Amino acid sequence: MGTRGRKSANSLAVVSNVVAIPCPAPPDELSDEGAEEWRHQVNRMPAGYFGREVFPTLIQLCRHVVAARRVAQLIEHATEGQELDVGDYLELLKAQERESKAIIALSRTMRLTHQANVYAKQSRKPPAIERPWD
């Protein structure tokens, strides 16, 4: 025997057949550091956000993030010594700038930046301020 009458709105709102969408695993072509960055990027976005068509771009983003970390380590190492070769230091800073620009461009392409996640109309609203005399 079933229950009589119409189903409630609450019972209709429950989804019974939920299919879990697994996060894509890092490809074998990435290093261990790159695979860790892949997992970080994939896990912070909703399931199914990264389709197969953006995998090459995401792979490059992970590589550039790892390269940027290595350049930062080289800069730290170069500035720790007693003597600093200004030419080498400037080359390292240029490399750091190139990596930063590549990361920004790839992040914007895949809409991973903070600005891509905020609606333009919401960002232009002035903050609500309570007036002390009200």
- Cα–Cα distance measured from residue 106 to residue 63, given in angstroms and rounded to the nearest whole number: 11
- Cα–Cα distance measured from residue 66 to residue 57, given in angstroms and rounded to the nearest whole number: 14
pLDDT value at position 71? 97
Q: For residue 39, what are the CA distances in angstroms to 44, 48, 56, 132?
A: 8, 14, 15, 47
- Residues 79-110: pLDDT tens digits? 887 788 899 999 999 999 999 999 999 999 99
Return mean pLDDT, the chain: 86
CB of 80 within 8 A of CB of 62?
Answer: no
pLDDT value at position 9? 77
Give me the amino acid identity at 97: E
- The position carrying tokens 């960002």 is 123
- Residues 16-71: pLDDT tens digits? 666 777 889 999 999 999 999 999 999 988 888 899 999 999 999 999 999 999 99
pLDDT value at position 41? 94
Which pTM was predicted?
0.73
